[in-house]
Amino acid sequence: MTAREALQTQLERGIATLGASLPEDAVERLLDYRELLERWNAAYNLTAVRDGSEMVGRHLLDSLAILPYVHGRSLADLGTGPGLPGIPLAIAEPAREVLMVDSNGKKVRFLREAIRSLKLGNAKALQSRVEDVEGTFECVTARAFASLADMLGWGGHLLAPNGVWLAMKGKHPAEELDGVPEGFQVEAIHVLTVPGVEGERHLVVIRRR
């Protein structure tokens, strides 16, 4: 079995465990994305995760674990880094427009190359500070790039009136809940189990009050 085949088996098993339903070509594209990230990572240091199997778990499956909570036709992924969870979510649901935002030029250059080589017609990358982004989105995702107070303080204007904000966290963010700004309300906190990944994972679901 080649290294890619082993990672494909791991990914397919993980997707089955999550109960996710993905397009036919999704697994191939997710593996292509992982390979591209590994290649660029050697020069640009885009992620601290370097092991292929760990990348499948901590990047791909971790991103796909939030799929049941993603809603709407438009999504903004704030502080996306090398496209997490934005690129896996764009691959998983091609009908949804995904804007990935990061202030780091190297990461956005990688994202644009990933969008081009994976032919992701529904994805765009923007180099910007979160507070300078314009527009509104039915879903906003953010993967542990700041406290809930800071996330919403910088990016709350991007959430459409009936939209849902999904904040991906490690430990339960109990100490952050009092800092949620006026006008927003934590609707639920879900414990996520990511196949093959140890440690706590929580998803905080926030809506406008």
Decide if 46 contacts 37 (C-beta within 8 A). Answer: yes
Cα 172 to Cα 34, 72, 175, 199, 203: the distances in Å are 28, 26, 8, 11, 9
pLDDT for residue 22: 98
Cβ-Cβ contacts under 8 Å for 177 (sequence gap 6 or more): 148, 186
Would you list the DSSP string of 166-177?
A: EEEESS--GGGG
Decide if 61 contacts 15 (C-beta within 8 A). Answer: yes
Q: Which helix (H) or strand (E) holds 55?
A: helix 52-55
Distance from the first to the final alpha carbon of the chain: 52
- Both tokens of 57, joined, read 């778990």
pLDDT for residue 43: 86
Residues in the chain predicted with pLDDT less than 50, given as ranges, are none
pLDDT for residue 6: 97
pLDDT for residue 51: 87
Taking each helix axis from N to C end, the angle separating 26-44 and 105-117, rounded to the nearest 10 degrees, works out to: 150
pLDDT for residue 42: 86
pLDDT for residue 118: 97
pLDDT for residue 192: 97
pLDDT for residue 47: 87
pLDDT for residue 129: 97
What does pTM read for this prediction? 0.96
